[in-house]
Chains A and B, each alone.
Chain A
Amino acid sequence: MDGITPDLLALQLFTGLALGAIYVLLALGMSLLFGMLTVVNFAHGAFYMLGAYAGILLLGFGVNFWFCLLFAPLLIGGIGMLSERFLIRHLYGRGIDYPLLLTFGLSYIMVETVRIFFGTQGLPFDTPDALQGASDIMIGYFPTYRLFVIGVAILVIAALWLFLERTPYGLIIRAGARDPQIVRILGIDVARVWLVVFGIGTGLAALAGLLAAPLQGASPEMGASILAESFVVTVVGGMGSLVGAVVAGLLVGVVVAMTSLFAPEMAQVAIFALMAIVLLIRPQGFFGRAGLMS
């Protein structure tokens, strides 16, 4: 354990938070879809991957990175809304496995489509110029881009919170998650709200994929591995809980970063061990309501 100084630990903590920020964005979307629509979205990883490729496509058209951050999630969120409107909507009320199987199939179609148009090889994704290099964060130098990722996640969490807690639309979403029927009785078209929720959830996944691309490049398979990890985050936080998604996302990110510092060979297993422990002690996750699935 020589050479592990408090500063190094602190820097690794930040690395974990940056990784966690990506998980948070993914898990927020996943939890939103599950909490409101009872859709376990197996295509969430594919939407994440599409976000990265939408970035590549837009950059190729000469759009700068900052606009990509806005347009890629909008574009992919739009695709998400189309799939809700024309495919998933017909399966509401039929039990949890129908949308699960549908989104599972959908993810294969999306991955294959990307392979056809962008090739089976991964593509590099340059860190935007303004975010290259490292910044002094008092405890040492830390990659600027990772700081940026953390910052974006904080902004998104704040914006989502304000949207849900302070806007009429957010009120409908919160009420609709608890009791869609009374919302209909009060004259509100819940189907339209669900469409928007699906757009937000998949748009957040796309943003996560775009943000992750400069760290690891883009590949058609990038969504498959992170899908499992974001399920872990969602389950640990409590399915359907947004606070849980944030807390568990950051925790899992830090756990992965710390394990790769102390026991790199355990890094892949660590988060599943964490999930097993949490589920043994608290089956509904940190903030989940017990019996949601029953």
Chain B
Amino acid sequence: MLKVEQLQAWYGRSHILQGIDLEVKKGELVCLIGRNGAGKTTTLRAIMGLTGRAEGRVMFDGQDVLKLPTHKRNGLGLGYVPEERRIVPGLSVRDNLRLGLLAAHHKASEADVITEVAQTFPRLAERLDQDAITMSGGEQQMLAIARALVSRPKLLMLDEPSEGIMPVLVDEMFVLFSRLRDQGTTILLVEQNVELALGIADRAYIMDQGEIVYQAKASDLLADEEIKERYCSV
């Protein structure tokens, strides 16, 4: 579904990604781990077309999307939940969800979508008319994920979804991710919480200094203390 080949990216003059190769197959949940500053966020941003300059190939569904503007990449089925969640202040929960629905290619009505969201995220359903920015961090994260899901992306990219969120909610969220995968959404997950991420992922890539340094089945990596120690300990 997603095949990244020799992807390089820059922020201003700094050369962040040194040539990334990674692949996410249909139906997989792949996680991308590594220390802070390894280039994980930049990788997702480059796939989404949000870095200034990028080179290489980003094949999505057989098409190179590297030169496409961000909104067209979303239109092809690339969903992205950025690290900072980006809940729009001054907009209600409902309006934030509507925003996700506006560019969707399916024909489901707003009412259908709200019903779906209510099943997955009951907390959001209770707060539809609240100014979204006044919710807790966990609820905002739920909204950011729900908002990315309403357009029914083929691939969902999540950047540090557990950051700054109560542990009990984090567990709930990871259960949701594996359920989404089981229901057919392909997922690329960037996560600091290595044990949790490897616990639900099929495969994993480890990044260091702008390069992919290791890849393995998640279950194998989960047992490999040495590699985890070398690349992921803080």
Q: Do B74 and A187 touch across chains, with their CB atoms under 8 A apart?
A: yes
Q: Which residues of A contact B90 (CB under 8 A)?
A: 174, 178
B residues 80-105 near A (Cβ < 8 Å) are 80, 82, 86, 88-91, 95, 98-100, 102-104
A residues 126-175 near B (Cβ < 8 Å) are 168, 171-172, 174-175
Q: Do A175 and B88 touch across chains, with their CB atoms under 8 A apart?
A: yes
* CB within 8 Å for A174 and B91 given contacts A182-B82, A186-B151: yes
Could you say which of B50, B82, B99 contacts A171, with CB atoms under 8 Å apart? B99
Q: Do A178 and B89 touch across chains, with their CB atoms under 8 A apart?
A: yes
Interface string of B59-76 (1 = CB under 8 A from A): 000000000011100110
B48 within 8 A of A: yes
Q: Do A171 and B95 touch across chains, with their CB atoms under 8 A apart?
A: yes
B40 within 8 A of A: no
Could you say which of B50, B70, B91, B151 contacts A175, with CB atoms under 8 Å apart? B91
Interface string of A43-69 (1 = CB under 8 A from B): 000000000000000000000000000
Q: Do A185 and B82 touch across chains, with their CB atoms under 8 A apart?
A: yes
Dominant SS among interface residues on chain A: helix
Minimum CB–CB distance from B225 to chain A (whole Å) comes to 37
Interface size on A, residues (CB 8 A): 17
Q: Do B69 and A186 touch across chains, with their CB atoms under 8 A apart?
A: no
Interface centre among B74, B75, B88, B104 (most CB of A within 10 A): B88
Q: Do B98 and A186 touch across chains, with their CB atoms under 8 A apart?
A: no
Q: Do A175 and B86 touch across chains, with their CB atoms under 8 A apart?
A: no
A278 within 8 A of B: no
- Give complex CA distance A188, B103 in Å: 6
Q: Do B71 and A188 touch across chains, with their CB atoms under 8 A apart?
A: yes
Interface string of A82-101 (1 = CB under 8 A from B): 00000000000000000000
- Give complex CA distance A250, B151 in Å: 43
25 A-B pairs with CB atoms under 8 Å apart are A168-B98, A171-B99, A172-B99, A172-B102, A174-B95, A178-B88, A179-B88, A181-B70, A181-B86, A182-B82, A182-B86, A184-B71, A184-B74, A185-B48, A185-B70, A185-B74, A185-B86, A186-B100, A186-B151, A187-B75, A187-B102, A187-B104, A187-B151, A188-B99, A188-B103
B residues within 8 Å of A by Cβ? 48, 50, 69-71, 74-75, 80, 82, 86, 88-91, 95, 98-100, 102-104, 147-148, 151
Contacts A174-B95, A187-B74 given; 11 further ones with Cβ under 8 A?
A175-B99, A178-B89, A178-B90, A179-B86, A181-B70, A182-B82, A183-B99, A186-B71, A186-B147, A187-B102, A187-B103
